Copies of this chain bind each other. A is one copy, B any other.
């Protein structure tokens, strides 16, 4: 870079950078979030640089740091504002299908463009307790609650033993999925989900 001559060059037209229309408020937020996810899928979390995000969004680093104090918080926000949230608990009338459906919902998220974001976020989470709290509240707890609800309905139908209605047991599915996701870079296959459900969760919860 900087290859340009260094003498009286600026003759090079008054490109006069400050030009394009300037965004504020929501428009700017949206542009930054989009740029963050684009950059994330392009180079991954580990290689994501604040400056590149700013450039891609045609924003300034100052605008980024005014809103987020770190890369992790930016990415957490970007992901959170982009993903739909884990949605409602499936209710097919069969616990097995509901659990599988719930896991598939997570897996789809992880296999999608936000997957790389989540991966990096988890790495960051390990180092940053505050961020861990944010991630737990935003991503982990809703998942556990979803499975608890599924189990509860299964118990009502007599498919699930009542003593299985615990946070610990409801966490098993998400935790195994998360662990698999962290340990393998490839997309989570449906095969794996089925294995988790049929080999672990179902034997664990049924009457």
Interface residues of A, Cβ cutoff 8 Å to B: 44-46, 119-120, 122-127, 129, 132, 136, 140, 164, 166, 168-169, 172, 175-176, 178-179, 182-183, 185, 195-196, 199-200, 203-204
Determine the chain B residues whose CB is within 8 A of the CB of A124 once the complex forms: 123
Query: Contact: A172 with B200, CB < 8 Å?
Result: yes
Task: Report how far A44 CA is from B129 CA in the complex, Å.
Answer: 13
Q: Looking at the assembled complex, report how far the CB atom of A132 sits from the nearest CB atom of chain B, in whole angstroms.
A: 7
Query: Contact: A126 with B136, CB < 8 Å?
Result: no
As for how many copies of this chain the complex holds, the number is 2
Which one, B45, B127, B166, B179, contacts A46 given CB within 8 A?
B127
Chain B residue with the shortest CB-CB distance to A46: B127
Query: Contact: B204 with A168, CB < 8 Å?
Result: no
Query: Contact: B196 with A200, CB < 8 Å?
Result: no
Determine the chain B residues whose CB is within 8 A of the CB of A168 once the complex forms: 195-196, 199-200
Q: Looking at the assembled complex, report how far the CB atom of A173 sits from the nearest CB atom of chain B, in whole angstroms.
A: 11
Determine the chain B residues whose CB is within 8 A of the CB of A178 once the complex forms: 179
Query: Contact: A172 with B183, CB < 8 Å?
Result: no
Query: Contact: A169 with B129, CB < 8 Å?
Result: no
Chain B residue with the shortest CB-CB distance to A182: B126
Chain B residue with the shortest CB-CB distance to A122: B126
Q: Looking at the assembled complex, report how far the CB atom of A124 sits from the nearest CB atom of chain B, in whole angstroms.
A: 8
Task: Report how far A185 CA is from B136 CA in the complex, Å.
Answer: 13
Query: Contact: A185 with B129, CB < 8 Å?
Result: yes
Query: Contact: A132 with B183, CB < 8 Å?
Result: yes
Determine the chain B residues whose CB is within 8 A of the CB of A199 once the complex forms: 166, 168-169
